[in-house]
Every structure is written in C-alpha cells, then in structure tokens.
C-alpha cells in the first residue's frame, strides 16, 4: 500500500511538472512575438520556473563557428502585459569563440497570468545566418523563495518517488502480471516526459508523452479495480 501511494505521488508530480513546462513552451510558440526566420539557434538559456516575486537572469550565447569575425545584432524581446520590452546590442565575436549577453526578467514581464516569454534574434553576419530562439518561463505563486528551489523539490518527487514506489509495490506483490507491465510503462513514460520537459523547447513531444501517461494511468486504474 505504501509503495502504491509513493508511486502515485511520483507519477502525479512528474505529470504535473511535465504539463507545466510543456504549457509554457507551447504558449511561447503561440505568443505574439514577430517572427523573422524559422532558423533556430541554441544560445538562449532561461529558467524553467520562477516565483511571482523573484527576478532572474536569462543568457544569450553567440557562438561563431566560422573562421571570420562576425558582428551580428542581438535582439532580445521580453514579454510584458503591453508591448514587448525590446533590447538590442551588436556584438563582435572572433573566430571559434562565444560571447554571452544577459537580460533580467522580473514580475513586470509576466503576461497571460502564469508566464514570462523571451525571444532572442541573431541577425545575419556573414557567414552566419539569421536565427532565433524562444523560451517560456512558468511563474507560480508559491511560498518558496526561488523557482530553482521549487524545481528541485518537484523533480525530486517525480524522479525519486516514481521508481521507489514501483520497487516497493513490486517487492510487496508476489504475482507479476499485466498490471506490473503497465506500471513499468507508466514509470518510463513519466520519467521520459520529465526529461523532455526539462529541455524547454520539445513541448510537442512532452504533450504526446502526457497523452500516453493519461492513457496508461486510466488503464492501470482499470486493472487495479479488477483485483
């Protein structure tokens, strides 16, 4: 019984966290930022979670893989309840090196009640093309000082309770049949959803895994009801 409760807690925590991160990524994609290109670059780094009272720093890394100096303009758009807050700076990046820019997001950047959205655009600078990146930050009103602390606690519940509950549940059961197969599949799907959700941009894959999680959960409940 204890194993089942711990397993259920882990599945619930992992599913809710994956859903929140996927929601933020989806909202960022649908937000009203102007889009100039479909090329993506990996230089944008944002916190996944924030509390409603904290400020945080985003990082934009500009990498130059070529053998020429590049001098692109970096435009950073931050969401607000009104028009986006836009910052622009030109950077000079020597061959094979990386330059990093920073911007601060705060409660003033919260929009759609639960999110902060960021878009970074790198202009073309031969031989590097124009590219952009998006991120969505989930903002929660919780009595915890920072989103990082909340993320660690939430991850611990999902990553520890799910396999621990599964092990305790299996250890206390003599018969291993279809129910345990569904439990293992559910555990793997929840953990996979967390891994995908933590990337911050593979939200469509996370949504697919959430659907599978729900279907497996319903199937498991039906099997348990027959026991």
Query: Residue 227: what pLDDT?
Result: 60
Whether the pLDDT of residue 175 is over 60: the answer is no
- Surface-to-core class of residue 171, CB atoms within 10 Å of its CB (0-12 exposed, 13-18 middle, 19+ buried): exposed
Going by pLDDT thresholds of 50, 70 and 90, the confidence category of residue 70 is very high
Query: Residue 171: what pLDDT?
Result: 80
Going by pLDDT thresholds of 50, 70 and 90, the confidence category of residue 20 is very high
User: Span 184-199, mean pLDDT?
Assistant: 93
Q: Which residues, including other chains, have CB under 8 Å from residue 5's CB and lie 6 or more apart? A: 165
Structure tokens given for 62: 């500009």
Query: Residue 72: what pLDDT?
Result: 96
CATH T-level topology, domain 32-140: Immunoglobulin-like (2.60.40)
Q: Name the residue with tokens 């700076």.
A: 89
Supply the mean pLDDT for the chain. 92
Query: Residue 154: what pLDDT?
Result: 94
**CB 74, CB 104: distance < 8 Å:** no
Q: Which residues, including other chains, have CB under 8 Å from residue 14's CB and lie 6 or more apart? A: 157, 158, 159, 162, 190, 191, 193, 194
Query: Residue 66: what pLDDT?
Result: 92
d(CA 175, CA 194): 29
Whether the pLDDT of residue 174 is over 60: the answer is no
Query: Residue 221: what pLDDT?
Result: 87
Nearest to 73 by CA among 60, 59, 58: 60
Whether the pLDDT of residue 45 is over 60: the answer is yes
Whether the pLDDT of residue 206 is over 80: the answer is yes
d(CA 139, CA 150): 11
- Model confidence over 111-161: pLDDT tens digits? 999 999 999 999 999 999 999 999 999 999 998 889 999 999 999 999 999
Query: Residue 81: what pLDDT?
Result: 93
- Model confidence over 80-108: pLDDT tens digits? 999 999 999 999 999 999 999 999 999 99
Domain parsing of the chain, residue ranges: 2-24+146-226, 32-140
The CA-atom distances, in angstroms, between 88 and each of 93, 105, 119, 133 are 16, 15, 12, 15
Q: Which residues pair with 151 in a beta bridge?
A: none
Whether the pLDDT of residue 56 is over 90: the answer is yes
**Single pTM value for the model:** 0.90
């Amino acid at each position: 019984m204890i194993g089942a409760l711990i397993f259920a807690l882990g599945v619930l925590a992992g599913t809710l966290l994956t859903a929140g991160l996927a929601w933020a990524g989806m909202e960022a994609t649908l937000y009203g930022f102007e889009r100039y290109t479909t090329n993506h670059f990996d230089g944008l780094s944002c916190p996944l979670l924030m509390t409603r009272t904290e400020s945080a720093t985003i990082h934009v890394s500009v990498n130059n893989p070529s053998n020429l100096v590049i001098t692109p303009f970096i435009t950073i758009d931050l969401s607000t309840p009104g028009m986006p807050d836009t910052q622009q700076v030109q950077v000079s990046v020597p061959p094979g090196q990386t330059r990093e820019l920073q911007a601060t997001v705060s409660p003033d950047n919260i929009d759609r009640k639960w999110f902060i959205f960021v878009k970074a655009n790198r202009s073309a600078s031969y031989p590097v093309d124009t590219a952009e990146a998006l991120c969505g930050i989930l903002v929660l009103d919780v009595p915890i000082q920072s989103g990082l602390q909340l993320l660690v606690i939430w991850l611990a519940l999902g990553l520890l309770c799910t396999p621990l509950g599964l092990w305790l549940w299996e250890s206390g059961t003599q018969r291993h049949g279809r129910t345990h197969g569904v439990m293992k599949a559910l555990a793997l799907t929840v953990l996979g959803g967390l891994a995908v959700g933590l990337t911050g941009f593979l939200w469509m894959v996370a949504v697919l895994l959430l659907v599978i999680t729900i279907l497996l959960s319903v199937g498991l409940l039906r099997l348990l009801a027959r026991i």
